[in-house]
Amino acid sequence: MQSCLAELKSFEEHAISSEISEQGLFHFIVALDKKYKGNIEYELNINGVICNIASSLRHLKVLAYAASRLNSAVASDESDKYLYDLGNTILCIAEIEMLYPQSITDLLSSSKFNEARSYFERINKIHEYYPFAITNTANLLEKYGRNLEAIYLYDEVLAKHPRFGMALCNKAQSIEYYVKQAPAPSLRLLDIAKCLYIKGLDDPDMQSIGGSRAFDHFTKSMSQLSSILEHNNYSGSNNENRPNKLSEYLVYCLDANLFLNHDFGYYYDNESVHDNFFPSFIEYIHDKQNKRTGVMSEQVYFSFHVFNQLLESYSSSRLQYYTAITTDYEALDQLVCYTYTLDYTQHNHKYGLLKSTLSSLYNCLDKIAHLMHYYYIAYDSGSTKNIYFNWLLSGEFRDVVIKNNSYQLLALWSLAKDFEPKHKYNYLRNIRNRITHSFLNINTEIFYDNNNATYEITESMLEKATARMFLIVKSALMYAVNALAFQEVDGKNMPMNAILERDIFQRGKGHRMR
């Protein structure tokens, strides 16, 4: 007698090969439901099979039916398998509804990609579908231009599943895109991408998971990278050649990739330990000139000031974070007489500095929104208008994204959405609001209670949240800088790059091969 899983596999292969009609597919499903009623193994797998068939045959009606069944299943049993299949089904619906490649307008209008992400992100890290789900999540971030965050997600997968081919090859592809956004090419990063392709393509499950089309695409990309590296006589390097004189602070920042540059945490030369992001502002001949400098427009002048404030806030937060986690404050802690509230909560200088760091980093996001408003909408040196990060979700900014047809600006819009209620980073907004406006307690790990999560976290949770904020702010700054670097200009009104400051900033070194 044929087993349940064997019959489902046979059903899937037959339905796809025979290009079964929607009506015929429904007929088979009803028969199988009746045959395997109450069979747990069948219930866990049938909807994924329906999704695979309907996706291959582009049957939207059947995909919607599968989504409905899975919604009901998740409502009664939040199984990781159900979550994965539901996310995958919604993703397939979105892929069919929107032509590839998806336009920026489509991505702004559709909620399905974000809905699919929400299910993938709920899957337990120890579940067998975790690497599939998080790789899909990273791929979805790529659709919205969120390249740097996608790379970090692939790394999360590979930390637990180092041979997972789809994560390896997709990370390689993301690094290629990252290099294209940088002001100077990096042969080292391209070599790393090539090695990732080779390792990923060596995964014996690569074709069965990703399909022959993905396998062929990655193989071609790997071959092209090999040709580029050979043309430049690059033989590879396992040694970053960091000078011994680097301080512990600089080494820490390099290892954590915390410098605001495109060197990806590697040491190429002295510029690798500098924050050298630079906004490529455009001004026009008829723009109002700033009286204090006489060499740039009012708009560019004030935009530069916002950007300098961003650099100051970020770099100061980084130094404060390093100081907090590497300094022993025990003697100083004893000078402060905190009120003991009989609940195992703790207060000290380390926690105070970490809280201040997270709050300051969150403020950087508001400044990024302010920078976008100054440059793309209107500037006013005397304005006290409150512009927060969620302004990037406004109709004003949405129009800017569409007008500029910029995936980097789309990335900022998408990232801002993640801080809204019921989205991935809303917890960071809540933590910041508690720190800024009320109180946030740090409890010992052993006595921590989730019931108090609205106002209480552990030390490790605070450190992880702060580290995540660094990643987010650096990503947001990179998206903003790249948006400015690749912006389209109105050639009729005599555009000019604000390059005088750039020349000073780069200290006459120009671009470098990294």
Residue 256 DSSP symbol = T
**pLDDT tens digits for range 452-470:** 888 999 999 999 999 999 9
Give the bridge partners for 297, in sequence order: 289
CA distances from 495 to 145, 288, 318, 377, 506 (A): 26, 13, 36, 17, 22
User: Is pLDDT at 509 greater than 50 in this prediction?
Assistant: no
CA distances from 381 to 303, 306, 457 (A): 10, 11, 39
**pLDDT tens digits for range 89-108:** 999 999 999 888 889 999 99
User: Is pLDDT at 76 greater than 80 in this prediction?
Assistant: yes
Spatial neighbors of 113 by CB under 8 A, at least 6 apart, are: 91, 94, 107, 140, 143, 144
User: Is pLDDT at 381 greater than 80 in this prediction?
Assistant: no
On the 0-12 / 13-18 / 19+ scale of CB atoms within 10 A, 324 is buried
User: Long-range contacts made by residues 129-135, C-beta under 8 angstroms, separation at least 24?
Assistant: 129/80, 129/81, 129/84, 130/80, 130/157, 130/160, 131/157, 131/160, 131/161, 131/164, 131/166, 131/167, 132/84, 132/166, 132/209, 133/83, 133/84, 133/87, 134/167, 135/164, 135/166, 135/167, 135/170
User: Is pLDDT at 376 greater than 50 in this prediction?
Assistant: yes
Task: List the one residue out of 215, 212, 209, 157 whose CA is nearest residue 52.
Answer: 209
**pLDDT tens digits for range 134-177:** 999 999 999 999 999 999 999 999 999 999 999 999 999 999 99
What totals of helices (H) and strands (E) does the chain contain, helices first?
A: 21, 5
Which pLDDT does position 344 carry in this prediction? 85
CB 350 within 8 A of CB 390: no
**pLDDT tens digits for range 255-291:** 999 999 999 999 998 999 999 999 988 888 777 887 8
pTM: 0.92
What's the mean per-residue pLDDT of the chain?
A: 91
CB 19 within 8 A of CB 57: yes
User: Is pLDDT at 1 greater than 60 in this prediction?
Assistant: no
Which pLDDT does position 230 carry in this prediction? 94
Which pLDDT does position 449 carry in this prediction? 84
Give CA–CA dist 83/78, Å, rounded: 7
CB 483 within 8 A of CB 281: no
Give CA–CA dist 74/55, Å, rounded: 21
User: Is pLDDT at 511 greater than 60 in this prediction?
Assistant: no
| Secondary structure of 80-111 in HEC code, one letter for each residue | HHHHHHHHHHHHHHHHHHCCCCCCHHHHHHCC
Other C-beta atoms lying within 10 Å of the C-beta of residue 71: 13
| All structural domains of the chain with their residue ranges | 1-127, 313-498
Which pLDDT does position 30 carry in this prediction? 94
Give the bridge partners for 289, in sequence order: 297
CB 476 within 8 A of CB 365: yes
Percent of the chain residues topping a pLDDT of 70 = 93
User: Is pLDDT at 375 greater than 80 in this prediction?
Assistant: yes
CA distances from 77 to 40, 110, 114, 227, 238 (A): 12, 27, 22, 51, 48
User: Long-range contacts made by residues 210-219, C-beta under 8 angstroms, separation at least 24?
Assistant: 210/165, 210/166, 210/169, 214/166, 214/169, 218/169, 218/172, 218/173
**pLDDT tens digits for range 398-425:** 999 999 999 999 999 999 999 999 999 9
Which pLDDT does position 240 carry in this prediction? 62
User: Is pLDDT at 2 greater than 50 in this prediction?
Assistant: yes
